[in-house]
A and B are shown apart, each in its own frame.
Chain A
Amino acid sequence: MEILEYLLMVLTPTNLMWLTIGSLVGAFLGALPGMNADTGIAMFLPLTFNMDPLTGLLTLCAIYTSASYGGNITGVLLNTPGTPEAMYMAWDGYPMTVRGEGAKAIGVTTIAAFFAGVVGALALLFLSPFIARFALKFGPMEMFLTTMLGLTIVIGLSKGSMLKGCLSACLGLLCAMIGTDDFIGVSRFDFGLKELYDGLPLLPTVLGLFAVSQLLIMVAEKKGTVVCKNNAMAGSPFLSLVEMGKLAWVTVRSSIIGTIVGIIPAASTSVAVGISYGISKREDKDPDSFGNGNPKGLATASAAHSAITGGSLVPLLTLAIPGNATAALFLGGLTIHGLAPGTKLFTTDGHIVYPMMIGLVLAQFFILFIGLFGAKYFCKVTKVPTNVLIPIVGCLSVLGAYVFRYQSFDMILVLVCGLIGYYMICTGIPPAPFVLAFVLGARAETSWRRMATLTGGSESFLHMMLKPVPLILLALNLLFLISPFWKDIKGLFGKRAQEVQ
């Protein structure tokens, strides 16, 4: 009965309107090369500030879902993925378009994405309360190690520039400490600026790092427009029951894999698609057709990719560990509306978060509608010239920064963060660890200081540490930090062993 109640809370005219707007905007941004869910959520966060918390979060859910899908359209029809992850859909989708099956390809990717999105959203709805109850038993030690786990995973997965990933995270932690010390009310690192007494504002910072930096890159790279061929969508995107039946098993399996991978913090789309695609290809009667326009390949990639959306919100809502950078921005959305991840979210704030999760299920239906009826129109969004888009994004970013606290300082801050973000991207410094550290930093320090207050000496520290959960968390932290170098370490020991012999 409660689910029915929560469903009715979602089905109000206002919420449905913003779900529609969020879905259309998200699909538009996802379809545009250079834009993605991060940009969409960063730009819409200020808009949600004055909304009812549920409406605001539903809007963000819609953007997250449809932006992830939007890139599939241009990837499949134009071989120009709107988002980096959509390139997996282009592997088999674009060859289908080339041989005149563009509409069918859109049908395959849409239905697979819809099904997988529902699976991911249902996993979020039913798993999260259990994990949150488990997290209730966490003390300061466990909270600190969990927060650190979120950071070490992201750092560990930026192997090629792990040093820079660590430095990026350190900078994020320092920025998180700007403002008033929550424990004793002392102002730190505000450099005498009253605008920083309450800390570096989240919204202008992420808006600058994601939206403004992205438009600077578009300007620098002089991205032009891509034209959608008139016959790219010839035919019908609606699949017959027989066609759906052939794709059913790969879609179901890939949905489950994508959901599980999404739940693992910082595990990427590449991992989910890689595993699913590899299994599907191995099992198929004609494995060589994968990558050459096999609908099963497209369905596999689409399902694995879409299921991650719901899965990535599980660790976020329960343990405050964002599954990826987009989820970190989502955490910003929760914070803006006074919601904190954890058990309280599912008890005191359950009247907001449960409808939100049901809304995420509903958002998948919008994808179905957009894909089956609107793909040929979204394909044409690439005709929007970048010399029109860039100034508009700039304007909305500046305005979005202003409406957070109604301070002109934030409009300057967004530009400074934009320049810093541009520099970071150009010099191989990953911005994701900075954002995660910035979002998690306060929590990390709070739990560290609570832990320090409670222990007060090495004996009690060891007493807190030598328990199953802290030990497991510590082991996971070390695992994720060391795992990128595991092959190098094995090679080193192997070499040493050979030398000894």
Chain B
Amino acid sequence: MINEEKKGNTFHWDYITIGFFYLAAIIFLYQTFNLQQMESRIFPYIVLSLAIILNTVLLVKSIKTSPDKREQYSFEGGNRALYITAALLIYVIAIGFIGFYIATPVYLYLTMFMLGQRKQKVLIPVALITTLFVYVVFDLVLSMPIPGGMLF
């Protein structure tokens, strides 16, 4: 996922990473300040101090590195990854309403279709067999509760 350099590109994903780590450090620091017991704060303080120092070193290093010498990262195809994540999120929400055994074959069918599978003799059997496989293995063999929904 790491591309060859793109000349003249001043934006770099490392700045986003650095920003994320600073934000995480600030949030955790704020939470640490609010802890009543001192002994509970020490280890978080040590780790957070280390994280902030390292993050600052990364920031300085990123600024000092010229754009043409930076490692370039590629998120090519990232939109497809986001679509799949969205599909999974909708699937999780749907489980909460209609239950696993109805949401799953629908999710499988639609996601395979979205990814380019068009053969009905693959779409329908895979959706049904996978659901059946989960029922047999998780429910019958391992006796694990499967998520149910409000309606089913």
Q: What residues make up the interface of A, taking CB atoms closer than 8 Å to B?
A: 47, 49-51, 163-164, 166-167, 170-171, 173-174, 177, 181, 183-184, 186, 188-189, 191, 212, 215-217, 219-222, 385-388, 390-392, 394-396, 398-399, 402-403, 406, 408, 411-412, 415, 418-419, 422, 425-429, 444-445, 448-449, 452
**B84/A219 in contact, CB under 8 A:** yes
Question: Max chain A CB contacts within 10 Å: which of B84, B87, B95, B144?
Answer: B84
Contacts of A186 on B, CB cut-off 8 Å?
Answer: 35-37, 40
Known: A50-B142, A385-B117. A398 touches B37 (CB 8 A): no
Partner of B31, one of A188, A395, A403, A452: A188
Q: In the bound complex, do residue A411 and residue B92 qualify as a contact, i.e. CB atoms below 8 Å apart?
A: yes
B-side interface mostly: helix
Contacts of B146 in A (CB 8 A): 399
A411 to B96, CA, bound (A): 11
Expressed in whole angstroms, the Cα–Cα distance for A177 and B35 within the complex equals 13
Contact check: which of A173, A395, A406 meets B47 at CB < 8 Å? A173
Indicate whether B102 reaches chain A with its CB closer than 8 angstroms.
Answer: no
In the assembled complex, the Cα of A231 lies from the Cα of B44 at a distance in Å of: 60
Of chain A, the residue at the smallest CB distance from B49 is A170
Give the nearest-CB partner of B126 in chain A. Answer: A388
**Complex interface: chain B residues within 8 A of A219 (CB):** 77, 80-81, 83-84, 115
Q: Contact at B54–A408, with CB atoms within 8 Å?
A: no
Let me know if A398 and B92 touch, CB within 8 A: yes
Residues A171 and B21 in contact in the complex (CB < 8 Å), given A50-B144, A186-B40: yes
Chain A residue numbers with a CB within 8 Å of B55 are 167
Residues of A within 8 A of B36 (CB): 186
- What secondary structure prevails in chain A residues at the interface with B? helix
Query: Are B44 and A174 in contact, CB atoms less than 8 angstroms apart?
Result: yes
Contact A408/B71 with A216-B84, A387-B112 known, Cβ cut-off 8 Å: no
Q: CA separation between A166 and B17, bound complex, in Å? A: 13
Cβ–Cβ < 8 Å partners of A184 in chain B: 37, 39-40
- A422–B81 Cα gap in the complex (Å)? 9
With both beta carbons as reference points, the residue of chain A lying nearest to B80 in the complex is identified as A219
Q: Which residue of B lies closest to A390 (CB)?
A: B115
- Please indicate the chain B residues that have their CB under 8 angstroms from the CB of A426 in the complex: 1, 13, 73-75, 78
- For the complex with contacts A49-B144, A186-B40, A390-B111, 10 further pairs of A-B residues with Cβ separation under 8 Å are A166-B54, A174-B47, A217-B1, A220-B77, A408-B95, A415-B88, A415-B89, A419-B85, A428-B71, A452-B42
A449-B43 in contact given A163-B61, A167-B58, A425-B1 (Cβ < 8 Å): yes
Question: 8 smallest A-B Cβ distances: which pairs?
Answer: A220-B77, A387-B115, A391-B111, A170-B51, A216-B81, A387-B117, A426-B1, A220-B81
Hey, which chain A residues are within 8 Å of B116, CB to CB?
387
Residue of B nearest to A448 (CB): B43
Across-interface contacts of A50 in B (CB, < 8 A): 142-144
In the complex, residue of chain B having the shortest beta-carbon distance to the beta carbon of A160: B71
Q: For window 36-80 of chain B, which residues contact chain A by CB distance below 8 Å?
A: 36-37, 39-40, 42-44, 47-48, 50-51, 54-55, 57-58, 61, 71, 73-78, 80
**Are B35 and A167 interface neighbours, CB within 8 A?**
no
